[in-house]
Every structure is written in C-alpha cells, then in structure tokens.
Amino acid sequence: MTDRPRRVGLFGGTFDPPHAGHLAVACAARDALDLDVVELVPSSVPPHRRAPGATPAERLEMVRLACAGEPRLVASDREIRRDGTSYTVDTLRELAHDHPGAELFLVLGADSYDELPTWRESAEIVRLAHLAVLPRPGAHGVLRLRPDDAARLRAPGDPRPAEGTAVFAVPMPLVPLAARDLRARLARGEDPGAGLAAPVFGYIRERGLYGWPLGVSMSETSSAWDPVLAAAVRALSSRKAERLSVLDLRDKSSFTDFFVICSGTSDRQVKSLAEETALKVKEETGRRAVVEGLAQGEWVLLDYGDFLVHVFSEHAREFYRLESLWGDAPRLDPAGASL
C-alpha cells in the first residue's frame, strides 16, 4: 500500500443546533475524499452570522452527541478555546501546526463557498487547504465556479494539481434542512423529527434550549399515520392531487421519515394544492409548514420535519424522479389516511 500524507478535514459552523444535514455533509466529505479525520468545529463568535441561541459549551456538547458512533468524525473546541471572533484562517493555521505534513481539507456547503471571497484572508485559506464543496439547497457552489478556481476543480479520486490546492466537487443528495427552521419548531414545542439525532434532541429538551418548554415530553408513536401526516394526505386527496404517493423512509433516510409526492395539472393547481394543504393541516393539527418554491409553482415543498410534501408540476416530477431515487422505499396506501 502506498504511503500518503494524513488527510484532515475541517468543518466549521455555528451548529445551532447540529442537525442531520450537517452530519450528512461531514460523512459525505469523509467518505468521498478518504479523510482520516473530520473535525467539526463550533465557532465561538461567528463573524458572518447573528449570535447563536445556545452557548459555545452547549453547541460543542451537541456536536459531540451528534458525532457519537460516527467513525473519524470528532467534535473540536479549537475555536471555543480561542478568545474573540472565530476566523477559519486561524483554525487552519492551528491545524497545520498540529498536523505537520498533512493535507488539509476545508469542508464547505455550497452556500459557504459562495461567500468565501468575503472571509478574512480568503487567499490564505485557499493556500492552506483544499476545498471540499458539497451541494446545499438554494446555493450555487461549483455550478457557479469562480474563474480562479476553474483550473483547480477536481472530482474525488482525481489527481491533485501539480502545484497548490484543489477544489473538490463532492456529490451528495440534497438535505433540505435549515437550523433556523428547526429552532422555530423547537420554540413551538414541536417534534423536529429525524432532523435532530435523538441524543441532541434529548439534550435540548433537558436544558430548555431554543425556547423548548421545560417539562414537555414527546410521545412516541408506532403508527405510520400520525395525525399531521394523515391530515396532509387527506387534504391533497380532497383537492384531487394527481398520482398521490407516500414513501416510508424511516429505514432509508436520516433527515425525514416520509415523502408525500403528488402532481398538479398546472402551475396554478400546484400552488393551490400546496396552499390548501398547509391551511388544512394548520386548522386540523396546529402544525405549520416551512414552504419553499410557491412563487414558481413548479415544485413546492412543505416541510413538516418528520415528513416532507412535494407538490410538482408533471414536467418537474418527471425531471427530478424522486420515486425512482427512493425506489426501494415501502409505499403507504393514501387511503389509510382516512381510516
């Protein structure tokens, strides 16, 4: 076996809270680039974002809980130990000092890659580390590559540039999760579903973080047809949604339990299906959805945390082919929502 330098990944962020999307990014980079370790580093004082809702010590503990059992992922207190604002360039310098001769990889969501030129000493960041760029909903990433990066673009497994560092485009399925949406659900006392690892959710409940009401516990249900999921499917059925399908992803996905997929015959019907479903579910159960894509009417996503409703135009449904991507997932009979 050919010796190679140690490969060390850095994945920084507020992790407020750390969720399944963060873990999916870290694991995808680790596996695609054969990283020996990925350090998940909560910032102490983030330079580009508002103050986090949890303390640095709380966010570090949640990252430790989220990483537990994942090989080669470790929570790091590097930025929390430092005074003042947390700058990535300083963390990379510290890593280079601690791992002499190692290849460093800065793991970035596409949104962070888009913002990288605004970061402190961005040219030094690029000199110190390869960039591992992973897709994020609503961001360009390597699809809008900066001119200076074009010659450095590589796929995982490609040879490195003769000089300098590379930009690795790391593929992974999109995970439609955002920490702000999880915080909003927690503030309402709502179960975040598979978006948070069970130990992380338990820690949040125990400490009453993000407005979670202390003393409130979540009851577990073995029934697939929980009231909110059933209400959404009934609403879509009553509005004559086309080709209504319910995929059970509980054993397949880390970010949600079910996909509800349907079509509208026109952009107008797609919007109407989404709006009426959100309204009916709120009236029946009190649950609100995070809604994306309503203005376009091609693909509207209603995010309820433990399940996602995808309302497509027929063209968009055929293009994205979600049922094919999750072809081995069990299907539920939508008629069961009325039982």
DSSP line for 93-111? HHHHHHSTTPEEEEEEEHH
Domains and CATH numbers, the chain: 7-169 (3.40.50.620), 224-338 (3.30.460.10)
- 139 contacts: CB under 8 Å, gap ≥ 6: 109, 110, 111, 113, 114
pLDDT at 337: 79
Using alpha carbons, list the distances in angstroms from residue 12 to 40, 98, 178, 188, 320: 6, 17, 15, 28, 31
- Provide the 3-class DSSP secondary structure of residue 153: strand
Residue corresponding to tokens 């110190």 = 128
pLDDT at 223: 46
- In angstroms, rounded to a whole number, what is the distance separating the alpha carbons of residues 188 and 198? 18
Q: Which of 74, 66, 55 is nearest to 10 (CA)?
A: 74
- Provide the 3-class DSSP secondary structure of residue 47: coil
- In angstroms, rounded to a whole number, what is the distance separating the alpha carbons of residues 71 and 99? 19
pLDDT at 222: 36
Give me the tens of pLDDT residue by residue for the chain, a chain 339 residues long. 458 899 999 999 999 999 999 999 999 999 999 999 999 999 988 776 667 888 999 999 999 999 998 999 999 999 999 877 889 999 999 999 999 999 999 999 988 999 999 999 999 999 999 999 998 877 788 888 888 888 899 999 999 898 899 999 999 988 888 898 899 888 887 888 888 999 999 999 888 898 887 654 444 333 457 889 999 999 999 999 999 999 988 888 878 889 999 999 999 999 999 999 999 999 998 889 999 998 888 899 999 988 999 999 998 988 888 888 887 788 888 877 765
Strands annotated E in the chain: 7-13, 37-42, 73-75, 103-109, 130-134, 153-154, 167-169, 242-248, 258-264, 290-292, 299-303, 307-313, 331-332
Q: Give start and end residues of each alpha helix (H) in 156-197.
A: 179-187
pLDDT at 334: 84
Q: Which of 142, 120, 119, 118 is nearest to 131 (CA)?
A: 142
Q: Beta strand 153-154 with 167-169: parallel, antiparallel or unpaired?
A: parallel
- In angstroms, rounded to a whole number, what is the distance separating the alpha carbons of residues 90 and 66? 25
pLDDT at 224: 56
Q: Beta strand 167-169 with 103-109: parallel, antiparallel or unpaired?
A: unpaired
**φ and ψ at 275, to 5 degrees?**
-65, -45
Burial status of residue 338 (CB atoms within 10 A of its CB: 0-12, 13-18, 19 or more): exposed
- In angstroms, rounded to a whole number, what is the distance separating the alpha carbons of residues 332 and 1? 48
- In angstroms, rounded to a whole number, what is the distance separating the alpha carbons of residues 88 and 104? 12
Q: What DSSP string runs through 211-279?
A: GPPTT--PPP---S--HHHHHHHHHHHHTT-EEEEEEE-TTT-SS-SEEEEEEESSHHHHHHHHHHHHH
Structure tokens at 166: 């590379």
Using alpha carbons, list the distances in angstroms from residue 42 to 9, 25, 39, 183, 284: 14, 15, 10, 17, 39
Burial status of residue 34 (CB atoms within 10 A of its CB: 0-12, 13-18, 19 or more): exposed
